[in-house]
Every structure is written in structure tokens, then in C-alpha cells.
Amino acid sequence: MVTLSAITGANVQKLLPAVRAVHQTWNKRVPTSALNRWFEDAVGRHPPPAVQGRRLKLRYVTQANARPPTFVVFGTRAEATPEDYRRYLVNELREVFDLPGTPIRLDFRGTVNPFNEKE
């Protein structure tokens, strides 16, 4: 956030560098290897909660898109991840990869069990 004055012109010179910094953050790509190292550490420090008596098994993460930065987490029953754990991961992403003030999309995709016979 840049505070400026249109009347006095105070801090107007700070506006364009701030816009450039936000644009760089908006377009930022994070390598998958760095993401997965971060993800392993984040899950190790704060494991995912049990949902309906069964622990979630989150396996890996990748960046699917930029503008805004979009990340996809894969794992067993990943789509059942509670909202508070999703916020934890988003906040950790912001802190570790320096993404302040940028909207981050975090999608969760579960795996399909081929041996489950639902008819």
C-alpha cells in the first residue's frame, strides 16, 4: 500500500515502483522442486487433520498457473481438506515464497481408488 497526496504530490514517486513490484509478484512462478520441499516441511510441522476419523494423505503440490498464482495439492481425499488447514497452507505460501497481498488460489485434488466398487 502506498500512501500519497494528489494535492501536494507527496510520495507519488513511490507509486510506480510499487506497481512494478506487485506485477512481479502477480507473475511469479515457483519451481515444483522448491514447492515440494516447502510442502514436506509445512506438512511435517503441522500435519493435516483427520476428517471423518481418517487422516488425509497429502502427497505433493505444483503450480498450475500464474496470474494469480494457482497451486494444486494432490493426495488421498485431498478435496476433504478443512478450510482452516487450507488457510494455513496459503499463509505459509505467502510467507515462504514472498507473495504479500497477492490472491493465491489453492486447489485440492484427490485420487480415485480403482478397487472401490461403487455402483
pLDDT tens string 7-59: 998 989 998 998 898 888 888 899 999 999 999 999 999 999 998 888 889 99
CA 76/CA 91 separation, integer angstroms: 22
pLDDT of residue 2: 86
Cell numbers standing for residue 25: 509478484
| Cα dist from 18 to 7, 9, 25, 71, 100, whole Å | 20, 16, 11, 25, 12
Q: Convert the pLDDT of each residue in 59-73 to its tens digit.
A: 999 999 888 899 999
Q: Which of 116, 118, 106 is nearest to 81 (CA)?
A: 106
29-110 in CATH: which number? 3.30.300.20
The pTM assigned to this predicted structure is: 0.80
Query: What count of residues does the chain have?
Result: 119
pLDDT of 115 reads 78
- For residue 119, what pLDDT is reported? 53
